[in-house]
Amino acid sequence: MKLLLIFFGTLAMSVVEGYVSICDEKSDDNSDFTVLFEDTFDGEQLSEDWVITEGNELGQLRDTWGQKENINVEGGRLVITTKREQSNGYNFTSGALTTKGKQFFKPPFKACVVAQLPGSGIDGEMDGIWPAHWMMPQNSSCWPDDGEIDIMEQVDGLNTIYSTFHWNPNKDEKNPAPCDNGHDHAGVNVEVATSLTDFHEYAVFANDSGELVYYVDGEEIGRINEESKGEMEGTTPQKDPNMAFYLILNTAISTGGVWPKAVTDKTVFPIYHYVEDAKILGKAP
């Protein structure tokens, strides 16, 4: 398999108080957009727009078992709980939920998630912990042939978030190859000046000019386009007008590796990942 890696750029940013969300439908920038999906988790249970992952579909939870009991709605927030407990051959349980088969979105769209991420990375207390907000193609048989949009990933409780696009540079629509025939990625990682245990908005704009533009608290942190990816023959979300993506929110665990580190006896459980709002703007169907 041909594996190409593009180095991540690193930025530092301060949180802007009173920021304007890129998903503010009242903004002049969004005059052509409408709200396609929003969940503010104000009810007593999860809405029917979500599907909870049971088990480990698509490796969403890495080395942990997903179960409904770890997904709750409390006090106007979604709560994803990760525990050190045995279940179905795994030593940890956690939660993942997706809009797959329920709600999916074609570019151009803006996806925004307001969340409080787990813990601090002090003394290894969060080693192996991997919360993420990301998007996958609604209809795709081979990863990453049709792309993966990572809005936000955090590892090991550090004050850095990663925003990434994955694709297959060898994808050929006319002569399909077997799965796993190529993988490349590009992205940006950002150190946030204030704690990620505060609420922040993590967002991406999949625009109609072939770019993915990433934001934290309304401030652009980087973009991925043909120039940043370099020469490539594979697909991007915007090149396929029929490509639609669904949203995933989860906390995964790594029991071995360097990114994230492996969970250890020092890792503190239970771990909580809170989400206050998930919102998608786009063109009306």
Over residues 42-73, the pLDDT tens digits come to 998 999 999 999 998 767 788 999 999 999 99
Taking CA atoms, 106 is separated from 179, 185, 279, 284, in Å, by 24, 21, 14, 10
Q: Is the pLDDT of residue 116 over 80?
A: yes
Banded pLDDT at 284 (limits 50, 70, 90): confident
Residue 36 has pLDDT above 80, yes or no: yes
pLDDT band at 233 (very low <50, low <70, confident <90, very high): very low
Task: In whole angstroms, give the CA distance from residue 65 to residue 241.
Answer: 35
Which structure tokens are listed for 11? 């930025």
Cβ within 8 Å of residue 42, ≥6 positions away: 76
Residue 153 has pLDDT above 60, yes or no: yes
CA pair distance 121, 166, nearest whole angstrom: 26
**Ramachandran assignment for 239, one of left (phi > 0), alpha (psi -120 to 50 degrees), beta (any other):** alpha
Rounded distance between C-alpha atoms, residue 232 and residue 171, angstroms? 10
- Helix (H) / strand (E) containing 228: helix 226-229
Residue length of the chain: 285
Domains of the chain, each with CATH number or no CATH: 9-282 (2.60.120.200)
For the cut 60, the answer to whether the pLDDT of residue 4 exceeds it is no
pTM, full prediction? 0.90
pLDDT at 21 over 90: yes
Q: Which pair of tokens denotes residue 141?
A: 């048989």
- Reported as a single tens digit per residue, the pLDDT across 235-265 is 455 456 568 999 999 999 999 988 999 999 9
Q: Which carries the bigger pLDDT value, residue 278 or residue 142?
A: 278
